[in-house]
Amino acid sequence: MIKKIGIIGLGNVGQATVRSLKKYSSLIAHRTSLKIEIKGLCDARRSKSKFAKINLLPFTKDAYQLINDPAIDTIVELVGGINPAKQFIIDALKKGKNVVTANKALLAQHGRELFALAEKKKRMIGFEASVCGAIPLIKSISQGLVSCEVGEIYGILNGTTNYILYKMGKDKVDFSRALSEAQDKGIAERNPSLDINGVDTLHKLCLLSYLCFGVWPSPEKVYTRGIKDISLLDILYAEELNYRIKLLAIAKKRGKRLEVRVHPTLVSMDHPISEVSSSYNAVSLDTQPAGKLLFYGLGAGGGPTSSSVISDIVSISLHAESYLRQEEKVIFLKPENIRTRYYIRFMALDKPGVLAQVSRILAAFGISIASVTQKERMKRKFVPIVMITHEAKERDMRRALAKIDNLTSIKSPSQLIRIENL
């Protein structure tokens, strides 16, 4: 069987997809009897493409040359961003084509509309490459766990931030040093804000929420914190306490109640997700009846991501579709109603009575302390005090912390990082 595709967007992933399709075409044909033919390449940013020329492939800067081509079965959208990618996908579906995309930002914000259109047109949208690059996570959830209820999701969904946190701990450097090293290595972009502030993780979490629960959260309503306030100090103290700090995407469903959030989190070193190093991604799922599952692999990079793009092209061509979820109604848990344990670090004047003041405030809000460590002793200087609390309500914790930060013996702001028991 021959299937014809058009690829829009010749960035990293687009070029790697062309290369992988050429390199592994006989392998794919051998395994599936499918021949994938690239009918054309498009990149709106340029009028000529050396890359297309070297690969002896037709090139256009006008995406509609591909979208309107009746010979093309599947449009591969690798442009990224909302516009014009959204319109490309809409028009491709309307023209009766299947779509493969790696565009998490677009799907997180307009997925409901796009999947509804695909269903109406009886066409498919493959999006394996949009979450955790090379990991076949979308197919695992939608097909492998088709008869399972997912209760909890914990994900390291962004390689850049994981690399930065990992490097800080490993090389004992601060955030800005680790970031600039990541930029030098091409792991972080020149403008890394979407990664650093957790928004990329949030977009992927919205997609996982749809897949696992049939629920599209509104991205702007999900509690989201990035990693720029994590200091080396916190990473080292957490390690002493047998924890690593990871930027986690978290979702928990209990009956009709759903809790979705993104923030730096202390993870016990006993859990394999704490061992996810460098720019790797991982997703841990707690399910019924399949139990706990963990998927681990590269989350980005042209070559790795191209394998997911191609697996979608193949699946869709062979009608081995990812089954889509019907939407479900749930009640979202408000961030201030979260209950977790907390790591808190105060910078406190080293004088008698400070610890008592702090403890009194915590007690007043019903927060009980599991452990306290004072790191050094230096008279008349601010020294770090690290506390691990028992489970408490976020609202109480925030109020207590505001009070504590008002004490003259405390240098605000104090650090607060949530702890999850995976």
Q: Which residues are catalytic?
A: 204
The type of residue at 406 is N
Q: How far is the CB of 190 from a copy of itself (least distance, A)?
A: 24
The type of residue at 408 is T
Q: How far is the CB of 284 from a copy of itself (least distance, A)?
A: 8
- Spell 196-214 as b/e; 16+ CB within 10 A means b: bbbbbbbbbbbbbbbbbbe
1 binds a copy of itself (CB under 8 A): no
- For a copy of itself, what does the binding mask look like between residues 112 and 131, x meaning CB under 8 A? ----------------x---
What is the distance, to the nearest Å, from the Cα of residue 378 to the centroid of all Cα atoms in its chain?
Answer: 41
- Segment 240-299, which members bind a copy of itself (CB under 8 A)? 270-272, 275-277, 280, 282, 287-298
Q: Identify which range of 20-28, 160-168, 350-358, 394-402 contacts a copy of itself by CB under 8 A.
A: 20-28
Closer residue to a copy of itself (CB): 57 or 355: 57
- The pairing of strands 35-42 and 59-60 is parallel
162 binds a copy of itself (CB under 8 A): no
94 binds a copy of itself (CB under 8 A): no
Q: How far is the CB of 146 from a copy of itself (least distance, A)?
A: 5
Q: How far is the CB of 251 from a copy of itself (least distance, A)?
A: 18
- Segment 393-422, which members bind a copy of itself (CB under 8 A)? none
Q: Identify which range of 136-144, 157-165, 194-202, 372-380 contacts a copy of itself by CB under 8 A.
A: 136-144
215 binds a copy of itself (CB under 8 A): no
DSSP helix/strand/coil, 366: coil
Q: Identify which range of 52-60, 67-75, 100-108, 320-328 contacts a copy of itself by CB under 8 A.
A: 320-328
Q: Identify which range of 194-202, 318-326, 364-372, 404-412 contacts a copy of itself by CB under 8 A.
A: 318-326
Closer residue to a copy of itself (CB): 325 or 398: 325
98 binds a copy of itself (CB under 8 A): no
Q: How far is the CB of 344 from a copy of itself (least distance, A)?
A: 28
Cα angle vertex 185, ends 181, 186, to 5°?
A: 115
CB 231 within 8 A of CB 177: no
DSSP helix/strand/coil, 50: helix
4 binds a copy of itself (CB under 8 A): no
186 binds a copy of itself (CB under 8 A): no
Q: Helices 302-317 and 25-32: crossing angle, nearest 10°?
A: 30
108 binds a copy of itself (CB under 8 A): no
Tell me which residue has tokens 């209760």.
151
Distances (CA, A) of 288 to 145, 204, 355, 359: 9, 22, 44, 40
151 binds a copy of itself (CB under 8 A): no
Q: Identify which range of 44-52, 116-124, 147-155, 197-205 contacts a copy of itself by CB under 8 A.
A: 147-155
28 binds a copy of itself (CB under 8 A): yes
Q: How far apart are CA 244 and CA 30, in angstroms?
A: 44
20 binds a copy of itself (CB under 8 A): yes
Nearest to 76 by CA among 119, 30, 15, 25: 15
12 binds a copy of itself (CB under 8 A): no
Peptide bond into 272 cis (omega under 30): no
Q: What are phi and psi of 177, to 5 degrees?
A: -65, -45
Tell me which residue has tokens 């607060």.
416
- The pairing of strands 74-77 and 2-8 is parallel
Give the binding site for a copy of itself (CB under 8 A). Answer: 16, 20-21, 24, 27-28, 30-32, 128, 134-136, 139-140, 142-149, 214, 270-272, 275-277, 280, 282, 287-298, 301, 303-304, 306-308, 310-311, 314-315, 318-321, 323-326
